[in-house]
Every structure is written in structure tokens, then in C-alpha cells.
Amino acid sequence: MRKLSNELPSGYTIRFAERTDISAIMRFIEKYWKENHILAKDKDFFEYEFSIHTEKINFVLLLDAEGDIVGILGFIPYDETNRDIFTVMWKVLEHDEIMFGGVLLLQYLKEFGECRHIYTSGINEGTRNIYRYLGLQTDNLRHYYRVNKNMEQHLAVVCEKEKKTESEIRDNGFKMTLVEDVEMFKMKYHPNPNPNQIAKSSDYIIHRYFEHPRYKYFVYEICEDNVPCNSYIIARIQEHNGSKALRVIDYLGDTYLIEGLSCAIEQLLDELQCEYIDFYEYGIDDKILEHAGFKRNSIDSKNIIPNYFSPYICQNINIGIVFEKDTNPIIFKGDGDQDRPS
């Protein structure tokens, strides 16, 4: 990442947050980010989100000469050994005394946050050029979906009735088994060793999905001919007006296994009575997803697979991402804070 001068005006400081800063950060979010935001109103959820099994508070703060917060950068570390980090909640007030305050926060996190790689998801379109100037890569998550052909569609808009493909009909021995024993998961799961992909520790996964205080996530282990593959699909059910969709939020392990899950996915949709399954991803080979019966959607498509449900908005959206140019990450909607109650 390109480095800018880190000189601050007299009296200004940048530091990591402490527990005593929580109330001030929440007030900053309420005043300058969004009124009634969950991170401004719910201290328990704030601590869940930003103090993952630690006394540290995962924010970088920019303070003025009076010690007041004038900028924040939240972050979520995924693994303490290979410390990959997603940034969230990036906001700096405009001040005549200081230029590039937001960039300095990001630079501080990169230099002193013991980062291996740094990522962002859900970027504001107006910040793409800033990230590019810093030498970072920007792109969008790709949106894939597959409808349950045994149900009418009420949540999504699918213009053409599709016939089942051969891969959707053929059962090739791949199954998805619900994981309910957290300790067993911790014993069996091993983070991806690929240095170019995001390392997610078992502690992070357990905290993020098994222990989430608001959402119910389903963790499915992938098995081939009843043999576990040390790969997992993480999903949750989204309901609206009596209809349900299954949304894949994360994936752990070898992505090529998705190709064999076509029949298992159809069975799961029927079992859960979900109208469709969808997910946002970056970095998986398109052919793998096509062979599993998924179709790629686009923001200007006549087919609409909604992302927003609180409130429900029937429209396609893009989710922008940022990553370092020397990496080849696989990113999902669950990375960062894109699947968080607001």
C-alpha cells in the first residue's frame, strides 16, 4: 500500500481504541454515521462485534487537540497467527487542519495492526479512486443464485421459467450435513493454508457464526460418499411476508467441491421450503458455480435477487470490495460487516 506522510497537526493523535472509548465511539456513530444504528444503540452488540474474545477494542481513532474523536476506522481480525483484517465503519470529519485523515487511519492500521493482508467490503463508490491511489485493487462481489423450481417465487423476480439441468438431477454422492457440535467443529476444522487467501481461525468462525447474538446461522459440512471434506457452507434463512430464501454467507475449504453439490442444494431448498438460494462471492471459478446449477446475476438484469430485507427492497445491488494487488482472495458476503443487523 502506498504510504503517505503521517505527520499530524499539533495536538492531533492516532491510536487504537480502549474499552473506555466505547461510549464515545457509539456517540460518534450515532451523530455522524447513522441515527439509531445498532452500533450506536446496543452496547452488548458493539462489544460482540469489536472485542472478539479479547479486552482490545478493534477501532483506530483520530483525536483532535481536545481529545475528541474526529475519525474512526473499525476492523475485524480473522486470525491472530496469520492476521488478515477486514476494515469497517470508516468515517472522518472534515477538518481544515488535517488532510487525508481517513488514509492516515488506514495506514496506521496497516503499520501497527500486525496485518498480514487488509481487505474491505461494502465500499462507498466515491472512495474507489482513493483506494486505487493507495495501490489497492477494487472490484465487486459477484452475485449468484439458484431458484427452487418446485416453488413459486415471491421474494425474487425471475422472468423465465427454467428447466432442471442434468447436474441438478444427478446425485453424485455429495451431501451437506448440519454441524451442531461446536467443539467437534473446532477439532476438525483447519484454516486454509494458502497464503493468498483469507485465513479464518476456528475461534473467529465460532464467534462469528455459532455465537452470533441476533442471527441464526447454519453450518453445513460437505461430505463425499459420507467422508467429511473439511469444507463448510455457512448460510442463514431470510424471511419476508411468509416467504423464505436461503442465503449463503460464507464458505470454508476447497471451493471446487461446490461443483458436486447441485443435487444436495436442491434437496436442502425443498427441505427448508426456501424459494431460492443466493450468495455474493469473489474469487471462485465461474464454471464451478455453473456446474452446481447457479446463475450469475447483474445489477442491470431483469431478474431481481434482492439483497436488502430490513426493510425489504426488490432491487439488485453491487457490493464493492478492496484487496491488496498481490493477493488472490476468496471473499463472501459474510466478510467484513455486510451481513450485520443495522
Pair (162, 280) in one structural domain: yes
Structural domain that includes position 187? 142-317
Q: Quick one: DSSP state of residue 20?
A: G
Domain boundary (118, 139, 160) is at 139
Pair (91, 231) in one structural domain: no
Model pLDDT, residue 168? 55
Q: Give the CATH number of the domain where residue 50 resides.
A: 3.40.630.30
Model pLDDT, residue 94? 84
Segment 251-275, tens digit of pLDDT = 999 999 999 999 999 999 999 999 9
Pair (303, 179) in one structural domain: yes
Total count of domains within the chain: 2
CA pair distance 205, 191, nearest whole angstrom: 10
147 is written with which cell numbers? 431458484
Q: Which residue has the cell 454515521?
A: 33
Model pLDDT, residue 100? 79
Neighbours of 286 (CB within 10 A): 11
Beta bridge partners, 177, equal 221
CA pair distance 134, 11, nearest whole angstrom: 26
Query: Are 70 and 63 within 8 A, CB to CB?
Result: yes
Pair (260, 111) in one structural domain: no
Neighbours of 70 (CB within 10 A): 21
Pair (221, 197) in one structural domain: yes
Which of 80, 81, 76, 108 is closest to 92 using CA atoms?
108
Cis? peptide before 311, omega within 30° of 0: yes
CA pair distance 109, 107, nearest whole angstrom: 5
CA pair distance 49, 60, nearest whole angstrom: 15
Pair (271, 310) in one structural domain: yes
Which of 77, 263, 85 is closest to 169 using CA atoms?
263
Q: What is the pTM of this model?
A: 0.92
DSSP annotation string for 240-255:
ETTEEEEEEEEEES-G
Domain boundary (105, 139, 173) is at 139
Pair (166, 120) in one structural domain: no
Pair (113, 201) in one structural domain: no
Pair (146, 264) in one structural domain: yes
Pair (174, 261) in one structural domain: yes
Q: Which ranges of the chain have pLDDT less than 50?
A: none
Is 328 contained in some domain? no
Segment 280-303, tens digit of pLDDT = 999 999 999 999 999 999 999 999
Pair (118, 258) in one structural domain: no
Domain boundary (139, 158, 185) is at 139
Pair (27, 96) in one structural domain: yes
Model pLDDT, residue 228? 87
